[in-house]
């Protein structure tokens, strides 16, 4: 089944199976009711009842179309962005046939987040069979107090929505053959983290680098996305047990998000330098798997004593950010990963955790997430004290913490920062801004496949 999303009004030639109107009750009555003049009175009466009785939702059929009005709560704290995009994702999606969705919003500033919330509710990947598994079209229209939405904004929303759905498709799709870029060259060139994590798999690990470098860049900034791409995570010899391995095809969500964000930014006409580094590997069990007690040398030159092969994401990310800083001369690095289970405890299942060496860059990423409905929240930044969790007697660091009750999610991010060479001192020290996004346990909308779509664009 193919579900196509169009950010425009439903054409006159199409009779949708459902017309879904989402917004504050009174706002819906004030701004949407004129569109009902041509219909029979039953739909207008349903709208009046929806408002007068303060109902959460109400449905009424007119001909072959079901009209459904859904109240969108205006209750939101300062961390919830411009609109409750999570609620929009919850009420749209599913169903059968063509659908017309009208989002009635208080302000035009809320249009991007609201529109992208719809995209999250319609994943692209499905292997379900049956006669109801047919192609369908979703038409999304916006009504605001500010009037119509410009075609330029709608075009950008459409491009970003494609990238979000592509990200979800990459995560939902079962493990596929990895394109080999370097193979054993990773080992020979010093990528000790990425090589050792993936060397036991049938398909060797790969470092994929994409660059967008306009001839006349609009600024001197060099942004680089770095994504953890563990295409399947068994845990390695520290194997996942008791059902914890199920769903580990999603452990490449960081790379999926970075790739999709990169594509979206380029298609939307970003005029500066932009790169995307994908750290791809399968953390497999086999005769050649890395072992606890092994000592690795990362691309940064740091040595690591492995005490947990299931703490592999930070190893591949450290190689990725070191490459971004050294080889791509990044001024800004954003690494993204499904890194820790502790993220769920730290910032919950709707907010990714963000760790940054810069309060201004941290704020920029958070604001970007609020604009498009991908929420994140800052966590403790304290490398001076937390790096002690990785003390080793035989190497520079160990790869897993000593105390799991001591800010685990922050510790994992600091490992990437420090072992990626971003906190060196001296003349050759990297002086850029860095943000680490842990989206380990962020959940999709209710009833939607377990896709991970966090891809904030701070550009």
Positive or negative, the Cα torsion across 235, 237, 238, 241?
positive
Convert the pLDDT of each residue in 146-174 to its tens digit: 888 999 999 999 999 988 888 887 777 55
Convert the pLDDT of each residue in 239-296 to its tens digit: 999 888 998 998 999 999 999 998 888 888 888 999 999 999 999 999 999 999 999 9
**Residues 434, 448: Cα–Cα separation, whole Å:** 32
pLDDT at 218: 76
- Across the range 82-90, mean pLDDT stands at 92
For the chain, percent of residues with pLDDT exceeding 90: 71
Judged against a pLDDT cut of 50, whether residue 59 lies above it is answered with: yes
Reported as a pLDDT band with limits 50, 70 and 90, residue 373 is: confident
pLDDT at 454: 43
**Cα-based distances in Å from 119 to 116, 164, 373, 432:** 5, 7, 11, 33
Cβ atoms of residues 113 and 368 within 8 Å: no
pLDDT at 43: 94
Buried b (16+ CB within 10 A) or exposed e, 176-208: eebeeebeeebbeebbbbbbbbbbbbebbbbbb
Q: Is 428 exposed, middle or buried (0-12, 13-18, 19+ CB in 10 A)?
A: exposed
Judged against a pLDDT cut of 90, whether residue 179 lies above it is answered with: no
- Across the range 175-184, mean pLDDT stands at 56
Judged against a pLDDT cut of 50, whether residue 319 lies above it is answered with: yes
- Across the range 439-459, mean pLDDT stands at 50
Reported as a pLDDT band with limits 50, 70 and 90, residue 453 is: very low
Mean pLDDT of the chain: 90
Judged against a pLDDT cut of 70, whether residue 406 lies above it is answered with: yes
Between these two residues, 392 and 169, which has the higher pLDDT value?
A: 392
pLDDT at 264: 87
Q: What are residue 77's phi and psi, to 5 degrees? A: -85, 180
**Residues 134, 3: Cα–Cα separation, whole Å:** 9
Lowest mean pLDDT among 21-35, 68-82, 302-316: 68-82
pLDDT at 268: 84
* Beta sheet of 303-305, edge-to-edge order: 295-297, 303-305, 397-398
**Residues 414, 420: Cα–Cα separation, whole Å:** 9
pLDDT at 174: 56
**Residues 165, 117: Cα–Cα separation, whole Å:** 11
Lowest mean pLDDT among 172-176, 312-316, 317-321, 406-410: 172-176
pLDDT at 181: 62
Beta strands 303-305; 376-378: pairing state: unpaired
Q: Around Cβ 48, how many Cβ atoms within 10 Å?
A: 14
Reported as a pLDDT band with limits 50, 70 and 90, residue 317 is: very high
Between these two residues, 459 and 387, which has the higher pLDDT value?
A: 387
Judged against a pLDDT cut of 70, whether residue 443 lies above it is answered with: no
Q: Is 284 exposed, middle or buried (0-12, 13-18, 19+ CB in 10 A)?
A: buried
Between these two residues, 353 and 148, which has the higher pLDDT value?
A: 353
Q: What is the pTM of this model?
A: 0.77
Convert the pLDDT of each residue in 27-49 to its tens digit: 999 999 888 888 888 999 999 99
pLDDT at 442: 64
- State the catalytic residues: 240, 314
Reported as a pLDDT band with limits 50, 70 and 90, residue 188 is: very high
What letter would DSSP give residue 189? T
**Residues 89, 68: Cα–Cα separation, whole Å:** 15
pLDDT at 441: 67
For 213, the token pair is 């470098």
**Residues 335, 342: Cα–Cα separation, whole Å:** 18
Lowest mean pLDDT among 171-185, 219-233, 311-325: 171-185
pLDDT at 74: 84
Beta strands 352-356; 433-438: pairing state: antiparallel
Q: Around Cβ 151, how many Cβ atoms within 10 Å?
A: 10
Positive or negative, the Cα torsion across 416, 418, 422, 423?
positive
**Cα-based distances in Å from 430 to 80, 323, 388, 422, 425:** 33, 12, 22, 6, 8
Reported as a pLDDT band with limits 50, 70 and 90, residue 22 is: very high
Judged against a pLDDT cut of 60, whether residue 355 lies above it is answered with: yes
**Residues 416, 314: Cα–Cα separation, whole Å:** 6
């Amino acid at each position: 089944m193919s579900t196509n999303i169009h950010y425009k009004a439903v054409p006159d030639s199409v009779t949708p199976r459902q017309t879904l109107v989402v917004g504050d009750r009174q706002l819906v009555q004030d701004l949407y009711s004129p569109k009902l003049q041509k219909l029979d009175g039953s739909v207008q009466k349903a709208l009046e009842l929806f408002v007068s009785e303060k109902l959460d939702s109400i449905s009424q059929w007119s001909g072959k179309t079901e009209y459904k009005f859904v109240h969108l709560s205006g209750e939101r704290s300062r961390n919830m962005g411009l609109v409750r995009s999570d609620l929009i994702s919850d009420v749209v999606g599913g169903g059968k046939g063509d659908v017309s969705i009208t989002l009635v919003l208080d302000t035009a500033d809320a249009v991007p987040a609201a529109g992208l919330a719809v995209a999250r509710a319609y994943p692209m990947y499905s292997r379900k069979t049956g006669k109801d598994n047919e192609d369908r079209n979703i038409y999304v229209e916006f009504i605001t107090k500010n009037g119509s939405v410009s075609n330029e904004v709608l075009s950008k929303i459409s491009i970003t929505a494609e990238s979000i759905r592509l990200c979800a498709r990459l995560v939902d799709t079962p493990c596929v053959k990895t394109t080999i870029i370097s193979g054993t060259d990773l080992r020979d060139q010093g990528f000790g983290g990425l090589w050792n994590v993936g060397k036991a798999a049938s398909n060797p690990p790969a470092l994929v680098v994409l660059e967008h470098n306009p001839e006349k860049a609009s600024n001197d900034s060099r942004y680089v996305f770095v994504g953890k791409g563990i295409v399947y995570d068994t845990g390695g010899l520290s194997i996942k047990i008791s059902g914890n391995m199920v769903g580990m095809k999603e452990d490449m969500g960081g790379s999926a998000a970075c790739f999709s964000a990169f594509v979206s930014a380029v298609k939307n006409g970003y005029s500066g330098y932009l790169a995307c580094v994908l750290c791809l590997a399968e953390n497999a069990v086999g005769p050649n798997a890395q072992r606890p007690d092994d000592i690795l040398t990362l691309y940064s030159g740091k040595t690591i004593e492995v005490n947990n092969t299931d703490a592999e994401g930070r190893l591949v990310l450290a190689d990725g950010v070191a490459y971004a800083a050294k080889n791509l001369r990044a001024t800004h690095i954003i690494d993204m990963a499904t890194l820790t289970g502790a993220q769920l405890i730290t910032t919950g299942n709707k907010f990714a955790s963000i760790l940054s060496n810069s309060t201004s860059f941290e704020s920029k990423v958070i604001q970007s997430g609020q604009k498009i409905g991908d929420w994140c929240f800052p966590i403790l930044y304290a490398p001076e004290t937390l790096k002690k969790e990785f003390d080793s007697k035989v190497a520079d660091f160990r790869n897993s913490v000593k105390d799991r009750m001591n800010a685990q999610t922050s510790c994992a991010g600091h490992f990437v920062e420090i072992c990626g060479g971003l906190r060196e001192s001296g003349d050759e020290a990297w002086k850029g801004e860095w943000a680490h996004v842990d989206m380990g346990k962020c959940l999709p909308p209710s009833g939607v496949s377990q896709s991970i779509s966090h891809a904030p664009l701070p550009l």
